[in-house]
Structure 1
Amino acid sequence: MACNVYIKFVLVVCVSWSVSFAVGQPFKAVNLGNWLVTEGWMQPSRFDGIHNKDLLLWRINENTFNFRVFNKQFVGLSQQGSGTGLVAESNDPSNSETFQIEKENDNSNRVRIKANNGCYLQAISEDKVTADFQGSGWEDSNPSVFSMTVLSDKTLRGEYQITNGYGPDRAPQVMQDHWNTYITDDDFRFLSSNGINAVRIPVGWWIAKDPSPPKPYVGGSLKALDNAFTWAEKYGIKVIVDLHAVQGSQNGNAHSSSRDGYLEWGDSYIQDTVDVIDFLAKRYGNNPSLAAIELMNEPVAPGVSLETLKKYYQAGYDAVRKYTSSKFNNMNAQQNIDYINNDRSSQLGALTTSNGPLVFVGEWTGEWKINGASKEDYQRFTKAQLETYGHATFGWAYWAYKCQFDHWSLKWMIEKQYVTL
């Protein structure tokens, strides 16, 4: 029977000698996902307080938006003729590319869209829309009334959307409350008492700009990460800092804090991203709890080219080494670069290669796409993965520690005795 197994091999730069490695025991880790980098699917209720929470892309406020289309340009008013035609020619939105969306009171799928000239968009024909309607009403015959369908399965719910959605007045408190309660000292105590000896903590590029990151991001995640290191040292847990979201987005997904689903990270962003790695290495490089810094989470080809990735990995590796020892000489940058050229079967085989680069299974989970699976089925499935990934020379990290969906939550799996570590 085929099953979908969610695993990932990641490139990390090891930065401190670990007691675990001294006695030949790779890490048994868990991902603290949805803490310092928002993953809305894991806890959708975090978005409940946002007015018009179904409209999160290119949102200026709860009623005002920009529209970016498939050529990566913004819809706005034409500068030709009467100035009421619509074109998509601008790379940066201005007032001309700003629109208000008004919803019908009794049917939120029916909308009217007002341009910055004060007129509403209207359908002139099947292939022509202009911004010159000045009437009112919601009659079916009204050419300014449009039917709007939001594809909920395509909606991005990441750090950008939640901070931008709540806005500058509410987002700071909303995020601070989340950081203060989602992961606490007690969680580290729980993990330590249940056999977890490391945590992988996803962070976003804006953490290096704390306490005043660019809008819409808000300050405070750096203090939360500092707290994690304090708790880790208290309970004998190692920390892997994972740069999960880079400026421009390396995969277009919500968990990389993409604004609208486009992957735009490339050569022009390398130095900005290295600066984040430099910041993290400088701040935590000598912390006894630091085990590794992951240079980037899940870059996607062909949007991110191998050549660009090689340049970045080398520069990121060099940045880390400025602040840390080089005791892991068996895991240099070039070995890691060569390693990413291998296909999945080669990677799996390398798990048992004693003289190869250190291998870390950065994300795996006990969930699978099997209908009607029993508790015993889940136990056997999880046990099989533990036995396999236990051969990874740097260890593994379960995704995630907490999640609304039970089998994705290691805390739930432990408490309900689905897994024994």
Structure 2
Amino acid sequence: MGAITRLSALTALLPLVSCWLPQTNKQITSNSGTNLFSSSNGKIRGVNLGSQFIFEPWLGESAWSDMGCGSTGCEFDCVKSLGQEAANKAFQKHWGSWITQDDITEMVSYGINTIRVPVGYWMREDLVNRNSEYFPQGGLPYLKNLCGWASDAGLYIIMDLHGAPGAQVSENAFTGQLVETPGFYNTYNYQRALRFLEWMTKLIHSTNQFRNVGMLEIVNEPVSDSDEATSMRKNYYPSAVNRIRGAEGNLTMSKNDHLHIQMMDELWGSGDPDQYLTNLHFLAYDDHRYLKWDTSVPASHSSYLNTSCSDERNSNWPTIVGEWSLAVPDNVQSSPNWDPSSNKKFYAKWFAAQVHAYEKQQGWVFWAWKSQLNDYRWTYQDAVKAGVIPKDLNSLKSPCS
């Protein structure tokens, strides 16, 4: 019996776990009885666990090098270079040390109530083609530990299929592999992703450590509007909803205990995610907002503040701004006017402006919690320590007139 089959047999014997959108459908509390959403008026205030289960080398060059991956640009290439056994040891050491229980405790002390956990389809190991694909093995126990700590602490968890089979975009390490042409948009890889989603749904509902996972994102940052995006909306999205709901039906879950199924919102540029859907029950939407890459916004303090103050991220509901930062364009980021050490007041105002804009929606998830960049503009933990983000998020005053 394979590892996945054994796991399925074991989890089938466990009590079912309910899922929800905090405050809207169910209350969520820590082991101590604390409701972390009561102070945020039900809004998601979260951080992404970038480079935990899908390593993006730019976020942690030193850690990447220490793993023996320094000459490679993605997990696929590192595993292929190191060999499976050595790679498994290196990645398992990383999974056990990048985000720890102490990190979870620190997040809660800063008023964070949500984590978004990017994972790759290779978390389900039997989906990987061993003749042509190279990914680390052994991640599931570490994912369970992490989600168990978060659930104990009362954090809400968004599980995010960040790396899709074949890669949903080209040349980006967040997919786990660097490909010239995205390979996700075909029946074979849709089917692998659907098998992942069905498996993850069953795990979430039957594993105690996953009890606070209330949202499952079915693909992160797919291609912008194109034939591939149309194919995804027409074929993959309806199938994903049906496969997740079918798994929940087989588990006889109450509809109010269903996962929220998350897709990129229409503002992302892949088209209207609801276009081909007939079942709209418990859907949610993901909006990514990086002014760093928005060339329509002039790179000035006043322009960034004005843009964020007037931002309306409301194409679909409920929307969570699932990725954003304080990063600015490469050509100005090191200039005196944008230097993080001498412009803390501006970055603090801009953070507050973005929070107020995104909490007009269901809330926000900052990218990322941790890095080795020595740049708080990308790192929530460092921004708090720098005094740019307050520990008491309710103390934020809007800089918008």
Could you say which TM-score interval applies, normalised by the shorter chain? 0.5 to 0.7
When normalised by structure 2's length, the TM-score is 0.67
- The answer on whether the counterparts of 1:36 and 1:202 sit within 8 Å (CA) in structure 2 is yes
- The answer on whether the counterparts of 1:250 and 1:304 sit within 8 Å (CA) in structure 2 is no
Partner of 1:205: 121
Partner of 1:135: none
| Larger strand percent | 1
Question: Matched residues in 2 for 1:52 and 1:221: separation?
Answer: 17
Matches within 5 A, 1:301-340: 301=224, 302=226, 304-321=228-245, 322-323=247-248, 325-327=254-256, 339-340=272-273
Pair 335,30 (structure 1): closer, same or farther in 2 beyond 3 Å: closer
- Cα deviation code 1:265-300 (max 9, x no counterpart): 112211111101111111013543112000000101
Deviation at 1:227, TM superposition (A): 0.7
When normalised by structure 1's length, the TM-score is 0.64
| Larger helix percent | 2
Q: Unmatched 5+ residue regions in structure 2?
A: 1-17, 27-37, 276-286, 290-306, 394-401
Secondary structure of the residue aligned to 2:351 is helix
Pair 403,314 (structure 1): closer, same or farther in 2 beyond 3 Å: same
Pair 335,189 (structure 1): closer, same or farther in 2 beyond 3 Å: closer
Secondary structure of the residue aligned to 1:293 is strand
Question: Matched residues in 2 for 1:51 and 1:241: separation?
Answer: 28
Deviation at 1:262, TM superposition (A): 2.4
Pair 53,33 (structure 1): closer, same or farther in 2 beyond 3 Å: closer
Partner of 1:17: 20
Pair 408,210 (structure 1): closer, same or farther in 2 beyond 3 Å: farther
> Highest relative contact order (Cα 8 Å, sep 6+), 1 or 2?
1
Question: Matched residues in 1 for 2:127 and 2:75: separation?
Answer: 16
Q: Unmatched 5+ residue regions in structure 1?
A: 1-14, 57-156
Partner of 2:358: 389
* Paired letter, 2:222: P
- Cα deviation code 1:226-266 (max 9, x no counterpart): 01221012110011000000111000111112243321111
RMSD: 3.3
The 10-residue stretch of structure 1 (332-341 or 309-318) with the greater mean CA deviation from structure 2: 332-341
Which one of the candidate residues 175, 182, 191 is aligned to 1:256?
175
- The answer on whether the counterparts of 2:167 and 2:183 sit within 8 Å (CA) in structure 1 is yes
Deviation at 1:333, TM superposition (A): 8.9
- Cα deviation code 1:45-89 (max 9, x no counterpart): 2343587954x4xxxxxxxxxxxxxxxxxxxxxxxxxxxxxxxxx
* Paired letter, 2:345: E
Which one of the candidate residues 150, 173, 178 is aligned to 2:89?
173
Could you say which structure has the larger radius of gyration?
Answer: 1
- The answer on whether the counterparts of 2:159 and 2:216 sit within 8 Å (CA) in structure 1 is yes
Which one of the candidate residues 315, 320, 328 is aligned to 1:360?
320
Question: Matched residues in 2 for 1:212 and 1:399: separation?
Answer: 28
Which one of the candidate residues 190, 200, 205 is aligned to 1:285?
205
- The answer on whether the counterparts of 2:265 and 2:319 sit within 8 Å (CA) in structure 1 is no
- The answer on whether the counterparts of 2:217 and 2:263 sit within 8 Å (CA) in structure 1 is no
Say whether 1:242 aligns with 2:154.
no
- Cα deviation code 1:95-115 (max 9, x no counterpart): xxxxxxxxxxxxxxxxxxxxx
Question: Matched residues in 1 for 2:353 and 2:135: separation?
Answer: 40
Question: Matched residues in 1 for 2:179 and 2:241: separation?
Answer: 30
Matches within 5 A, 1:21-420: 21=24, 24-48=41-65, 53-54=70-71, 56=72, 157-209=73-125, 214=130, 216-252=134-170, 253-268=172-187, 269-285=189-205, 287-301=210-224, 302=226, 304-321=228-245, 322-323=247-248, 325-327=254-256, 339-340=272-273, 349=312, 351=314, 357-369=317-329, 370=332, 371-372=335-336, 373=338, 374-393=343-362, 395-405=363-373, 406=375, 407-420=377-390
Aligned length: 300
- Cα deviation code 1:204-227 (max 9, x no counterpart): 010012799845222221111101
- The answer on whether the counterparts of 1:210 and 1:221 sit within 8 Å (CA) in structure 2 is no
- The answer on whether the counterparts of 2:20 and 2:215 sit within 8 Å (CA) in structure 1 is no
- Cα deviation code 1:93-139 (max 9, x no counterpart): xxxxxxxxxxxxxxxxxxxxxxxxxxxxxxxxxxxxxxxxxxxxxxx
* Paired letter, 2:201: A
Pair 210,249 (structure 1): closer, same or farther in 2 beyond 3 Å: same
